[in-house]
Structures are given as structure tokens and as C-alpha cells.
Structure 1
Amino acid sequence: MTANQLTATTPAPPASQSRTLRPLLLRLHFYAGVLIGPFLLIAAFTGLLYVFTPQLERVVHSQELFVTPAGAPQPLSQQITAAKAALPGATLVRVRPGATETDSTQIIFSRADLAPSHWLTAYVDPYTAQVRGTLETYGSSQATPIRTWLDELHRSLHLGDIGRLYSELAASWLWLVVLGGLILWWQRQRARRRRLLLVDRKLRGRRGLLSWHAVLGTWIALPLLFLSVTGLTWSEYGGESIAALRKALSWQTPTLSTSLSEHSAHGSHQQPTGTPGPDIGPDRVLATARQSGLDGPVEITLPAGAGKAYLVKQIKGSWPQKQDAMAVDPATAQPLETLRFQDFPLGAKLARWGIDGHMGVLFGLPNQLLLAAVCLTLITMILLGYRMWWHRRPTRDRFALGRPFPRGGWRAVHPVALAGLAVAAVLVMWQLPVFGVSLLGFLAVDLVLAWRARRRRALVVGGEELMRK
């Protein structure tokens, strides 16, 4: 390699590209694609595996989940008694009556040896009050073991908190990769707008790969942005920033108090609180909730102690969602307070819709099919991207990362725009720490490669001078 070739690795941006973001975006898109691509690939593949877990768990755990209707259902109190006998030493927490006549009743317990958000669930035949089986379940969705395993695979690769960094890294960069790619493709095709959404089948080689890569990315851009934002809400560090923002905007999900003293202060409870009192039981509580309009699948949370009320919540996640909740007096079965989903702040509704849409339950099978198509398309795009990199790979320097756009692209950006980008980058890095640390890592890698190129160039130039002497 000659000195002229080495010097050509870092030319100034051409005049035709002055005052444009394109050189900077090209270099950033390249690094993000090469270095973040593997994490996105894993997230897309594990997400694809998770998409159809509702159908999978119905097959794997059909014994526990489903029953054969036979007469009238037994009282919930009798079903709870059977579940307690099957799980001695566990503490009863909640009850989910079967949503349909073929669903078992889920009676949920806590136990000291379980991990956070993990429960022991007894599945009871509502017609015979016999326990059909017990499983360790997870989260508010009552995920069965098969769904829990795939969920943990997608979220953390079963590596705990350290593993969660992989999915947060993917979600933190996905939105930037998508937006950057859209801008680059729009600029490239601005003279041929009809080619923005159509693959040019006449192109071959790297240009043909680029056409497929960009067009596919354009078609799934909105779903990818949606998955990036909603994925960050579950992340360890970025999720804290999103939670703080929702709190500042008063967009938190409202909750009902189960304290009888608070309701008594509003005149809705006349019984003394703080000491054990009569308990009318879950059957009458369920009847009260049904009479008050809480239809569909519900979950009944039992009083956590003296002075506490029952809490009944709708748990229908598919559209149209039913997420109303009601506090019920354990002594009189009278409604104390009702919280309607229609009264939620907009931010809380968006969060609920976003979570259920990300999990594939908001619109049922169409939601699942869309997510599966997006995952497969993203996997294809990533593989096409690496194939393009292979076309441009260095043939003499096995340590180089392909041929990224030359350094110095930031000099082509207008100073005012550059200052704005710098401020925006700092704000994003502050709110998304994993993104910030990885971006600084990219810059460090780029600086090391630049130093290495300058050092080699100096050695080559020095060697040529010695040869001339």
C-alpha cells in the first residue's frame, strides 16, 4: 500500500457534499450496522421465537389451562380451598376465574423462595374443584414456564441483569439506525421518488443488495421505531428515564388504593378499620364486580391484611382493551371506588397499548403475524447489510472494518446544525446511558483506527524517503 493510498482513507468531504449530514450519517450508519447488527439480529430472532408463545403454551400446558365443561361451576371459595391443599406453605394472593367455560381457574400464590415477580399457580377445574396441576408463573400476564423461558431468552439471553444490556443496546440504537437509513435512502432517491418503496431489479452486485436493504427498511420503518420505543420502556437504564419522564408529565398509570381508612375518609366505609373483620369472600366480590360492569376476564386480589379491600381488575389485553378496576369492601361487598380505563391519562393508555402491541396480544393473530414479518424482514436486512460489507471488505488489511465513509464528515455539517446535533446527542446519551456509553466506544474505536492509519502512513512515508536517499 502506497502513501497516496493511505492518505486517501481520510480525505476531506467533497465540495458537492458541503453543508450536509450525509457524510456523517454514512459513517455512523456503517459503524452502527457492523457493530450493533449482531445484537439486533439476536433480538429479532429471539423475538420471532416469542411471538407465537400464546399458541405454544396452549399446547404445552393444555392440561393445566383447559377443562371440559360439566354442569355448574363450584364456588370460588371451594376452588381456593383445593388450591391451598395442593400448595401448603404458600400465601394466597390473587384469583383469576376462567374467562370462558373451557378455561381453568388460576389461583395464584407467593412463596419466599420465588424470584421477584414469580408466582406459584394452581390450575383448578371450576366444575369439580380439582387441581389439574401447578406451575411457576411469571409477571402480571401469568406467563407459563414455556413463555417465561422464551421471554427471558429475548430479554436477557438467560444471563440476568448483564444479559439485559444486549437488548437495551439493540433498542437504544434501532431508532437511530432506522432514521439514519431513511434519510440516506431518501437523499439517494430524491430524483426517483417512486423507487423509495420499489426494489430496482435491474441492479446487480452491491447496488442491488443496497436496493433490497433500503426498500425493506423503508417498509418496516414504523414498526421498527415502535419496537425500539416500547422495548426501551422495559430496559434497565433507559426505562428509568422513560418512567421519570412519564412522572414529570403526569402520565403514570393510575392505581386504586385498597386502604379502607382512605375510603372511610371519603364516607364510603363505615366499619372500623385496622382490626380483622367479616369477609364476604371472593364469590360475592366477583358478583359485585360483574354487576358494576367489569365483564370479561378479571383478576381478584385478596385483602393483604386487616383494613384492606378487595381489588378487582379487568385483564383483557386484546383490542378493545378492558382495564377497569374496582375496590370492594370485604365486609359489605359494596364498591368503594372504580377506576375506568377511559379516564387514564393519554400517556398511560399509550404505554398499555404499546406493551400489548410489542408482545403481540393487542390485535391477536394479525398482531402476531405483523411482528413475525417484521422480525424476518429485519433479519434479512441485517444479512444483506453484512453482505454489502463483504463486497467492500478490505483485501489487504484484515484488521480494518470494511470501508466506512472517510473521516471528517462532521466538517460538512453547518456549524449551527452541528451545535444542535451535539446538544441533542448529549441529551440522548444522558437519557439512554447504554446508548451513550456505546457511542463513546464507537468514537474511541474510530480514534484508535485513525491513529493507527496515521502511524502506518508515517512509517510508509519514512520508508520511501529512506529508499530515495
Structure 2
Amino acid sequence: MTMTTSASPAESDASGVSLYRALWRWHFFAGLLAIPFMLNLAMTGGLYLFKDEINDTFFAYRYQVEAAGSPLSPDRIVEIAASAVPGSVARSYKDPASATRNAIVTVSSKAGSTLVFVNPYDGDVLDTVVAADEFNQVVRSIHSLAYFGTFPNILTEIAGGFVMVLVATGIYLWWPRRQIGGVVTVRGNPSRRVFWRDMHAVTGAFAGLLIFFLAATGMFWSNTWGSNVQAWLTNKGLGYPAELWDNVPVSKKVTGDVAPNSGWSVEKAPVPMSGTISGEPIGLEKAVSIAKDLGMASGFDTAIPRTETGVYTASIFPDDLSKERTVHIDQYSGTPLVDMGYPLYPAPGKAVAWGVNVHMGQEWGRFNQMLMLATCLAIVFTCVTAVVMWWKRRPSGRLGVPPMPPSRSVYFGLWLITLVFAIAFPMSGIAIVAMIAFDQIVVRFVPPLKRAFA
């Protein structure tokens, strides 16, 4: 992705020229590598913003029902769902979010996890879908490239770091240098390269902070950086209120293992164990009733214990962040062993939860959805204009890489910036170091490459 200007006043100063060209070159290489990933992230992310609307429009037959009397008990619904998938065992139950919503039971068998959609009034099985094949889950998996394995997912993480570099360098290249055109206005017409340059630069400048926000908050789901940050916050007691477990025996499992829809901040929180094994378990119906009495928001999931020491885990990650909550309930006594929600999170945990919620378009209703959709469209637009602009300026038979800076000393400061960035975002930092090393060592001393990259 390139962001160019006509001859700049900064070019009268040698150090200014060097810095400008170095950052332009970085911007180009980062964009060249990141554009395919940015397009995927923007298009699938924009689609996922409207997951509820998609469900209500295209999959209403399995999500919407007509209220008809008293609903069946959770235990009966789970029994119906398990019988719909022979040889399966129920793992979790999603209580209907309203009187016209279905119940969803996740069952597991040798074939894996399956979602069973059940009418809570008459027990009709509306649909069964392999969990990994559910439409919105597929979109989410393609979004992170986790659908294609670990390595592509790591590439997406690297691209996320590159996007932050693109925004930072792009703002520098756009920054007014006593010129008027191309700052907030667009010059020329579509037949001229300057038109595409200005469309790219102005759009990127005005949407830059939102694009940076999406890239930064998206890193929380990344394979290495996100996992390490989550582990660090957990170990320091900054992600969730660890003191709630002080007098509770815990298992080796974490909340994310049993409640996939729990909030990001509590995914690594340990799952407690039920106390003295005595008598019969209270059953799912009683556990759901206890969660409702505790004030859980409608539409929560309840994970069903898998062992004698397991617990019922009721969790919800709703649009209203203040209602995000996870409750672990003793399967014998019905006692809430751990009850935590957004209001109890430490400040860093709240900040991350807020960032995740805004990233997903959930925090301010329709406005948040439209704001994030506009940002996704801006990403697509900057990618398209970058490609068109590059195509118009590239020399025949060559890649058309921006020229190297006349003064190599400028790279000392840039290497320092790269080092700091690499510490903050290791995977992206390593990729940037490799990119610069290739440019400064391989390209410079291999004539065919030097010509191709000119």
C-alpha cells in the first residue's frame, strides 16, 4: 500500500528526504504484504458485525419461534437434543433470550460438537448444525484464518501489527507540508494517479485512528500476542478478580474450556470444583433457575458438569457490557461458588472488555455497528486505491518500490523504533526486521532484485 505526494517541501532538506523516503518504503512493503489480510479482515469483520441480523433474516427458521404456553424444562430440552444426535452427550444449554427465541443445546459425540436448535414449547428440533460449520462461526474462523490452521492465523497476527505500522507511517506521509491539495481535498480525476493518491491519503488520514483501534483490539484474539497478554493479566490479577477463588478449590480447567462464550477477560480464569460429593446433583433445571434468581441476563449459556467434581457454569457475553457475567454453581448444593461480572473486573480487565465489545460493534447499539462497518469499508477502500495508485505509477517490468533514502543514517533511529515495536508485538516485529533486512542486505547487493524492486 503506498501513500505518495508530489514533490514535498521536506525534500529540500536531506534528512527530511531520507526520513520521508524510508517511511514511504516501509509503508509500501508493509502494505504489499498486508493488503490481502486486510481485505479479508475487513470484509469478514463487516459481515460478522451483523451476525444477529443475519440469523434473524436467513436462519430465522431455527432461531425464531412462536410463544405457545409454558416452555419445556431445560432438562427435557436437553434430553430431546441429545436424542436428535445418536450417541451424543449434552455439554451446554442456551436458555431462550426471549419468548420468541429457541433454545440451543451443544452436544458432543465421536463426530465432534453439534448445535441442536429446539423449540422450547413443543420440543421440535428445528435444525442440527456441526458447531464448526455454523455460518457465523465459519465467518469468524475465516476472519482470523484459524479455519486454515495455526500458521495462517499467525500470519493474520503479523498483518495486524503491519496495519498499525501502515496507519502510523501513512499519517506521517499524509501530514501537511505547506501543501493544500491532498490534505482534505482530492485533486484531478480518476484517470490521474494523483486522484487515487488523494483518495487513499485522505480516507486513511480520517479513518486512521479507527483502523488503528480495530487492529490493536483485534490483537487480543491473536494466537501468540493475545494469549500472552491474557496470561500476563491473569498472572498479575489484572484481568479478573482473582480473590474470588481464595477459598474455593479449583480444577485444572479454565473457564474458556467449559464456556466458550464467556468474556475475554475471564477465559483463563480457573473453573472451581464442586464440594463434598453427596446425594444427587441438583440438575440443569435447578442450576438455570439459580442463575436467573441471581440476575443473569436473558440468553445465557449453562455448561453442564462432565465429572463428579464439575460445576454448572452460567455465562453470558451480551451487547450490554455491564451485564457480562460468569457464575460457577456447585452441582450438589446449588451454591454459587464464584460469581463475577464486568463491574468487578480490575481496570485493565474492564479496558480490554470494553475494547473487545466496541471492536465487535456491541457497545453502543446500531451506532457502534455502523461506525465499525464504516471503518471496515474505509479499509477496503484504502486497499483498492493503493493497488490502483501503485499500478499507475509502477515502471514496466518492475515492482515500483519507492526509492531508498539518500542518507542511510536515518535507519538507526528507525531500527530503534522497530526494536520497541518488536518488544510490544513480537511476531509483527520479527516480520518487520526480516523485511528491512531483506531490503537493506539482499536487495541492495543482488542486481536482479535491485532492478526488480526499483
TM range (shorter): 0.7 to 0.9
1:56-455 maps to which residues of 2 (within 5 A)? 56-114=54-112, 119-138=113-132, 145-156=134-145, 158-186=147-175, 189-191=176-178, 196=183, 198-201=184-187, 205-247=192-234, 249-253=236-240, 273=275, 275=277, 277-316=279-318, 318-395=319-396, 398=397, 400-412=398-410, 417=413, 420-421=416-417, 423-428=419-424, 431-437=425-431, 439-453=433-447
Cα drift, residue 322 of structure 1? 1.2
CA distance in 2: counterparts of 1:194 and 1:456, whole angstroms: 33
CA gap 1:110/1:363 in 2 versus in 1, 3 angstroms? farther
Q: Which stretch of the first structure deviates more once superposed, 78-87 or 16-25?
A: 16-25
CA apart distance, 1:191:
3.4
Matched residues in 2 for 1:331 and 1:159: separation? Answer: 42
Unaligned runs of 5+ in 1: 1-12, 139-143, 264-271, 458-469
**Partner-residue secondary structure (3-state), 1:327:** strand
Report the 3-state secondary structure (helix = DSSP H, G, I; strand = E; otherwise coil) of the residue aligned with 1:220.
helix
| Distance in 1, Cα, partners of 2:241 & 2:306 | 20
Paired residue secondary structure (2:308): coil
Cα-Cα RMSD? 3.3
**What letter corresponds to residue 18 of structure 1 in structure 2?**
S
| Cα deviation, residue 193, structure 1 | 8.3
- Relative distance call for 1:312 and 1:437 in structure 2 (3 A) is same
Structure 1 residue 422: deviation in Å?
Answer: 5.2
After superposition, the C-alpha distances for 1:151-207 in whole angstroms (9 at most, x for unaligned) are 222221842223324422321200010011112212xx14368974x2244688333
Please report the TM-score for the alignment, with normalisation by the length of structure 1: 0.78
SS in 1 for 2:116: strand
Distance across 2 between alignment mates of 1:455 and 1:157 = 33
1:102 partner amino acid = T
Q: Counterpart of 2:280 in structure 1: which amino acid?
A: P
The worse-fitting range, judged by mean Cα deviation, of 146-155 and 156-165 is 156-165
Change in CA separation of 1:288 and 1:358 when aligned onto 2, cut-off 3 Å: same
Paired amino acid for 1:16? D
What's the TM-score, normalizing by structure 2?
A: 0.80
Distance in 2 separating the partners of 1:258 and 1:125 = 41
Question: Could you tell me how far 1:212 is from its partner in structure 2?
Answer: 1.7
Q: Structure 1 residues 422 and 169 mapped into 2: Cα distance closer, same or farther (>3 Å)?
A: closer
Going from structure 1 to structure 2, the CA distance change for 1:262 and 1:179 (only over 3 Å counts) comes to closer
Cα gap change, 1:200 to 1:50, in 2 (>3 Å): same
Worse-matched range after superposition: 37-46 or 95-104: 37-46
d(CA) in 2 for partners of 1:280, 1:89: 24
The one-character-per-residue Cα deviations of 1:223-245 (angstroms, maximum 9, x if unpaired) are 21112112222222333343344
User: Cα offset for 1:37?
Assistant: 2.4
The residue number in structure 1 matching 2:258 is none
Q: How far off is 1:384 after superposition?
A: 1.6
Supply the distance in 1 between the matched residues of 2:448 and 2:72 (Cα, whole angstroms): 81
Name stretches of at least 5 consecutive residues in structure 2 with no aligned partner. 1-9, 252-273
Rate the CA distance shift 1:43–1:435 in 2: closer, same or farther, 3 A. farther
Deviations 1:295-322 (A, max 9, x none): 3222222233223332222332x13441
In the alignment, the residues of structure 2 paired with residue 366 and residue 206 of structure 1 have an alpha-carbon distance, to the nearest angstrom, of 35
CA distance in 2, matches of 1:89, 1:260: 34
Q: Distance in 2 between matches of 1:340 and 1:157?
A: 28
* 1:18 and 2:15 are equivalent in the alignment: yes
Determine what percentage of the aligned residue pairs are the same residue: 24
Would the aligned equivalents of 1:313 and 1:324 in 2 still touch at CA under 8 Å?
A: yes
Per the TM alignment, residue 48 of structure 1 is displaced from its structure 2 partner at its CA by 3.4
Q: For the Cα contact (< 8 Å) 2:77–2:118, is it kept in 1?
A: yes
Report the CA distance shift for 1:454/1:103 in structure 2 as closer, same or farther (over 3 A). Answer: closer
CA separation in 1, counterparts of 2:245 and 2:421? 41
Deviations 1:276-331 (A, max 9, x none): 52222222322322222223222222233223332222332x13441223233333
Based on CA coordinates, which of the two structures has the bigger radius of gyration?
1
Aligned-partner SS, 1:312: strand
Alignment partners' CA distance in 1, 2:106 and 2:51? 21
Query: How far 1:434 sits from its partner (Å)?
Result: 4.5
Secondary structure in 2 matching 1:110? strand
Structure-1 separation of matches of 2:401 and 2:299: 56
Matched residue count: 417
* Distance of 2:442 and 2:415 partners within structure 1: 24
